[in-house]
Amino acid sequence: MLSVKCLVIGLDGGTWKILRPLMDKGKLPNITSLVEEGCWGTLISSIPPVTFPAWKCYSTGKNPGKIGIYWFIGVDVENKRIIINTSRSVKSKEIWDYLSQQGITCGIVGLPGMYPPKKIRGFIVCEDAPDLTNFTYPRFIGRILKKKFGFKLFPEHAFEADPKKYAEEVKELIRQRFKVSIYLSQIFKPRFLNLTIYHTDGIQHHFWKAMREGHREYGKVIEEVWKIVDEEIGKLLSMINEEAYVMIISDHGFAEAKSIFQLARWLMDRGYLVLRRQGAHTLLRKLLRKMPISRDDIFTLVQKSRILALLRRISSPELRSKIFNRLFPPEGDMVVRNPLEGLIDWERSKTIPVPQGLIYINRNIFNSKEEVKTFRDRLAEEIREIRNPVSGDYLAKRVYTKDELYSGKYLDKAPDIIILPSEGFEIACSALTERLWNEPKKWTGVHAIEGIFIMRGPGVKKGVKVEKISILDLAPTILHLFSIPIPQDMDGKVLKGIFNEEFKRSSHEK
């Protein structure tokens, strides 16, 4: 029996749109049991609803303006730099920091944004490490995991080259994360265990259309993955005390992809974004775009050729992935995959866009704050008027300025405009595409702001749907379970509505 008092299972991209139909058919008995024995509801994610910063909003209980994280990358306009965010970019304590200070042992497995791992009382297994050199804390457990479990960070086969092998490898990675969590918990005996299953996100991105259309070979992949998750949850629950608190959450939800809007192209067409002279690798990609051969065709050819066999002997899967994505970045991801400051003409660009609808204004080329504000307001209004040419639907559900959405010490590092797209619309940033709107190809499922929340435990209401749950409320609620005072600078609040009156009266916080 594990000594866990509070178990948090993070299901990246978890959505009731998938879970509810499967639960109704009796295919997720363990998740269904948790819902019946506790409370549940829709969890509202961060804006943008994306892995990084959403998981950090969860772990800190703070909005991005207080932690300095707005996406996977940040734009330093003043110094003309694009910065890749890591765990060191987070300007705040997280749940496990507060618990560790109180002498409470923690275990963190699979949570994005933990690399490089920091020192806590307990253990960390990173999900987003570049390789298996330094992906754990303490470092020695990495060697054990590689030897005992053949630990891998991501699938050997890419979806583009072999969807079937990709899906099978993901299933094994999911099982592996559960096994690792149980194994390390038996050794370290954590009172707080946070296991995150990240690869559910990729499966839904890739196989949503196949699911919707009932594809003969791949139509059941998403269902199969969720059935494995449910089965593994059952095994884990059987090893913890029935009085332990169990929380299942997601960083965001999911929806069917309707169309992809190319924000960088739109800004370039208006002269708001200007690129420098293109390098040889950029010209190569542009030439390939005019040829009757796609990135997926090239990937498939390489995967099946002797070239890959040679690369397998002399390089790691991580290095092969980096090489391929450097030359052939996925459509829509060019600005992210190649965050090269030299690609942008910083002297003439009024804006620097980031995928998921973030726009930074280059203040260096404006004469006053008033000019910046006037331009920002005009740009926001132009974006509000963008419609899909086929459906006529507006691109944006809402367009925010940073002052409307964020607050805190790091507000000056925030994007000036944040677009929350209408459901099903993906905002990409390919600077090479000639089209503003593209039909979904690689990703047929996209993020949505509504995720999932389930909680069971002593004093938790049973069979009750809870309204208005923010991802910011989870950290203070977890600290509350351990009788740790809630830091005043947390934006989230304890979810008192999920507890019965007897628990409220007996808890430390009246």
Is 187 a residue whose pLDDT tops 70?
yes
Same structural domain for residues 304 and 406?
A: no
Per-residue pLDDT, 295? 45
The span from the CA of 325 to the CA of 334, in Å, is 9
Burial status of residue 407 (CB atoms within 10 A of its CB: 0-12, 13-18, 19 or more): middle
Which pLDDT band, with edges at 50, 70 and 90, does 64 fall under? very high
Is 282 a residue whose pLDDT tops 80?
no
The span from the CA of 434 to the CA of 432, in Å, is 6
Minimum mean pLDDT among 146-150, 299-303, 431-435: which range?
299-303
Per-residue pLDDT, 316? 53
Per-residue pLDDT, 68? 96
Minimum mean pLDDT among 219-228, 338-347, 382-391: which range?
338-347
Cβ pair 302, 293 in contact under 8 A: no
Which pLDDT band, with edges at 50, 70 and 90, does 468 fall under? confident
The span from the CA of 244 to the CA of 186, in Å, is 16
Same structural domain for residues 133 and 30?
A: yes
Same structural domain for residues 250 and 384?
A: no
Per-residue pLDDT, 501? 80
Angle between helices 317-327 and 280-289 (to 10 degrees): 80
Same structural domain for residues 156 and 20?
A: yes
| Nearest one of 76, 70, 74, 75 to 52, comparing CA atoms | 70
Is 507 a residue whose pLDDT tops 70?
no
Does residue 83 sit within a domain?
no
Same structural domain for residues 215 and 311?
A: no
Per-residue pLDDT, 505? 58
The span from the CA of 161 to the CA of 283, in Å, is 24
Render 197-246 in DSSP notation, one character per residue: E-HHHHHHHHHHHHHHHT-TTTTTHHHHHHHHHHHHHHHHHTTB-TTSEE
Same structural domain for residues 132 and 222?
A: yes
Same structural domain for residues 224 and 298?
A: no
Does residue 100 sit within a domain?
yes
Same structural domain for residues 429 and 464?
A: no
Which has more pLDDT, 89 or 298? 89
Same structural domain for residues 34 and 161?
A: yes
What domain count does the chain have?
Answer: 3
Among 290, 315, 341, where does a domain finish? 341
Does residue 61 sit within a domain?
no
The boundaries of the domain holding residue 307 are 276-341
Cβ pair 225, 200 in contact under 8 A: yes
Same structural domain for residues 317 and 401?
A: no
Angle between helices 140-149 and 163-188 (to 10 degrees): 130
Render 48-116 in DSSP notation, one character per residue: S-SHHHHHHHHHH-S-HHHHT-SSSEEEETTTTEEEE--GGG--S--HHHHHHHTT--EEEES-TT-PS
Query: Average pLDDT in the 405-415 region?
Result: 97
Does residue 236 sit within a domain?
yes
Is 304 a residue whose pLDDT tops 50?
no
Same structural domain for residues 414 and 298?
A: no
> Residue holding tokens 């607050």?
407
Which has more pLDDT, 442 or 278? 442
- Please tell me what DSSP assigns to residue 305: S
Does residue 428 sit within a domain?
yes
Pairing of strands 245-249, 6-11: parallel
Identify the CATH number of the domain in which residue 234 sits.
3.40.720.10
Does residue 82 sit within a domain?
no
Tally DSSP H helices, then E strands, for the chain: 19, 20
Per-residue pLDDT, 343? 83
Is 49 a residue whose pLDDT tops 80?
yes
Q: Say if residue 138 is preceded by a cis peptide, omega within 30 of 0.
A: yes
Is 308 a residue whose pLDDT tops 50?
no
Angle between helices 199-213 and 221-237 (to 10 degrees): 140
Per-residue pLDDT, 430? 80
Same structural domain for residues 96 and 242?
A: yes
Per-residue pLDDT, 314? 47
Does residue 140 sit within a domain?
yes
| Nearest one of 142, 136, 170 to 12, comparing CA atoms | 170
Angle between helices 221-237 and 163-188 (to 10 degrees): 10
Which pLDDT band, with edges at 50, 70 and 90, does 432 fall under? confident
pTM of the entire structure?
0.88
Is 336 a residue whose pLDDT tops 90?
no
Which has more pLDDT, 407 or 328? 407
Among 412, 439, 466, where does a domain finish? 439
Per-residue pLDDT, 338? 39
Per-residue pLDDT, 434? 84
Q: Compute how many other C-beta atoms are within 10 angstroms of the C-beta atom of residue 80.
A: 16
The span from the CA of 163 to the CA of 358, in Å, is 31
Which pLDDT band, with edges at 50, 70 and 90, does 502 fall under? confident
Which pLDDT band, with edges at 50, 70 and 90, does 323 fall under? very low
Is 403 a residue whose pLDDT tops 60?
yes
Q: What are 474-499's pLDDT values in tens digits?
A: 999 999 999 999 999 999 999 999 99
Amino acid identity, residue 44?
Answer: I
Average pLDDT, the chain: 89
Contacts of 323 (CB under 8 A, 6+ apart): 311, 315
The span from the CA of 23 to the CA of 32, in Å, is 6
For residue 421 the two structure tokens come to: 């797209």
Per-residue pLDDT, 503? 72
Is 281 a residue whose pLDDT tops 60?
no
For residue 401 the two structure tokens come to: 């300025």
Among 287, 318, 341, where does a domain finish? 341
Which pLDDT band, with edges at 50, 70 and 90, does 122 fall under? very high
The span from the CA of 195 to the CA of 60, in Å, is 16
The span from the CA of 237 to the CA of 359, in Å, is 43
Q: Compute how many other C-beta atoms are within 10 angstroms of the C-beta atom of residue 385.
A: 10
Which pLDDT band, with edges at 50, 70 and 90, does 327 fall under? very low
Which pLDDT band, with edges at 50, 70 and 90, does 194 fall under? very high
Minimum mean pLDDT among 39-43, 276-280, 378-382: which range?
276-280
Per-residue pLDDT, 341? 60
Identify the CATH number of the domain in which residue 361 sits.
3.30.1360
Does residue 185 sit within a domain?
yes
Per-residue pLDDT, 35? 97
Is 383 a residue whose pLDDT tops 50?
yes
Q: What are 244-261's pLDDT values in tens digits?
A: 999 999 999 999 999 999
